[in-house]
Structure 1
Amino acid sequence: MSANFEKVKSFLLELEFTLLHEDTQDELFVVEKDGSGIANLIIDCEDPILIIEGVLFEVKNKSLELFEKLLKKNREIIHGAFVLDESGTKVLYRDTLQLENLDLNELEGTLNSLELLLSEYAADIIEFSKN
């Protein structure tokens, strides 16, 4: 278990996230935060970066309109972005940060960005998941 893993864990606890799962061998967490909309978010220490990733919805009908809307929204997201998984069937939120000089404010900024995205864009995300 690395010092970075312990640092990230302490930051998550300080930010009042619930650790649903902690894998010390792979150095990753699955977290949630009540009232924020954030659930089953994976936080993975892959030295030299921290990967923050969570599934938002499954793409049932691929369309140019859907992908265009997501790309346009990416421009407004403060930290992170919408991405597709390897199969192209799930839309995820993803951000990466440098572990070497990671501080609490930087991680909090990414997590706040996701929370803001989920609150502001919730109706659209729900609509996307239905189509």
Structure 2
Amino acid sequence: MPNRYFTTVKTFLLELGFDIRHEEPTDNVLVVNKLELGIRHLVLSCGEPLLILEQYLLDVPQPSCEVYQLLLQKNRDIIHGAFVLDETGRKVIFRDTLQLEHLDRPELEAVFNSLALLLSEFGDELIAFSKG
């Protein structure tokens, strides 16, 4: 059964024009796209007390200190969210967490705008990282 925030988050997403590609109400998970923002397969998990947002960005074929240093430095410029690595250290993911109890649409929209800005401003570097 979905928790009390699942429907609210889904409503916000629809109001913001997102395409809901997949939903698992029993697990409180949504997967959305908004291609004009560069957002594809963004996973939202409404696990009380947090909303967790994650979008896979790229694989780093040859991990290096230089790549990781640049990602960490770029984290400083990101308004909402951050670059994170999966447990292998090769998959770069955008991740953010928000408190569900006080979540409103403008706060959620700010995360999406931050991700879109990150992708537009840092996209060339991310592509270069993925090519090694």
TM-score by length of 2: 0.97
SS of 2:11's equivalent?
helix
| Percent identity of paired positions between Structure 1 and Structure 2 | 53
**RMSD between aligned residues:** 0.6
- Aligned pairs for 1:44-55 (under 5 A) are 44-55=45-56
Q: Which runs of 5+ in 2 are unaligned?
A: none
Q: Does 1:97 align with 2:98?
A: yes
What is the aligned residue count?
131
**How far did residue 2 of structure 1 move?**
2.0
- Matches of 2:44 and 2:98, distance apart in 1: 11
- Matches of 1:59 and 1:25, distance apart in 2: 33
Q: Does 1:60 align with 2:61?
A: yes
Q: What is aligned with 2:87?
A: 86
- Matches of 2:87 and 2:102, distance apart in 1: 29
- Matches of 1:111 and 1:30, distance apart in 2: 14
Equivalent residue letter for 1:110? V
Deviations 1:84-130 (A, max 9, x none): 01121100000000000100010000111001000111100100110
**How far did residue 64 of structure 1 move?**
0.6
**How far did residue 3 of structure 1 move?**
2.0
- Matches of 1:70 and 1:34, distance apart in 2: 23
Q: Which runs of 5+ in 1 are unaligned?
A: none
SS of 1:100's equivalent?
coil
Moved over 6 A (4+): none
